């Protein structure tokens, strides 16, 4: 007698599925993207799209956006004008000027 003689073969049978077969969900069909659209349909779609109202901005909003753009341009010019070496030197000078408040103090000179 083999150890696998008592193994049931076939699909797994669940208790709640008494006699009813399990139906599979139908797959959605993919639309053919390569299909050429009909010219009449395109014209109808364009007509159906509603015309959106133009976005009106106040003078203050326009001035604010203009100032933001100017600041961005100025910052980019400043960053582009310095080389990496100059940035590192400036950073080192900044670190030298910082207080040494967070440094670990020396406990003893003799030990």
The per-residue pLDDT for range 49-93, each reduced to its tens digit, is: 667 777 789 999 999 999 999 999 999 998 888 888 888 898 888
**pLDDT for position 8:** 79
Give CA–CA dist 68/54, Å, rounded: 22
Distance CA 43, CA 37 (A): 11
Per-residue confidence (pLDDT) for residue 74, from 0 to 100: 95
Tokens at 5, concatenated: 């003689």
DSSP reduced 3-state for 9: coil
Q: What is the pLDDT of residue 58?
A: 94
pLDDT of 17 above 60: no
How far apart (Å, rounded) are the C-alpha atoms in residues 84 and 100? Answer: 26
pLDDT tens per residue across span 100-109 = 776 666 666 6
- Per-residue pLDDT at 109: 62
């Amino acid at each position: 007698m083999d150890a696998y003689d008592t193994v049931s073969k076939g699909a797994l049978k669940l208790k709640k599925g008494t006699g009813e077969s399990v139906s599979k969900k139908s797959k959605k069909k993919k639309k053919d993207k390569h299909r050429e659209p009909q010219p009449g349909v395109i014209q109808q779609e364009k007509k159906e799209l509603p015309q959106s109202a133009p976005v009106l901005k106040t003078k203050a909003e326009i001035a604010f956006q203009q100032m933001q753009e100017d600041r961005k341009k100025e910052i980019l010019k400043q960053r582009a004008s310095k080389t990496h070496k100059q940035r590192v030197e400036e950073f080192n000078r900044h670190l030298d000027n910082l207080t040494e408040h967070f440094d670990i103090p020396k406990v003893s000179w003799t030990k």
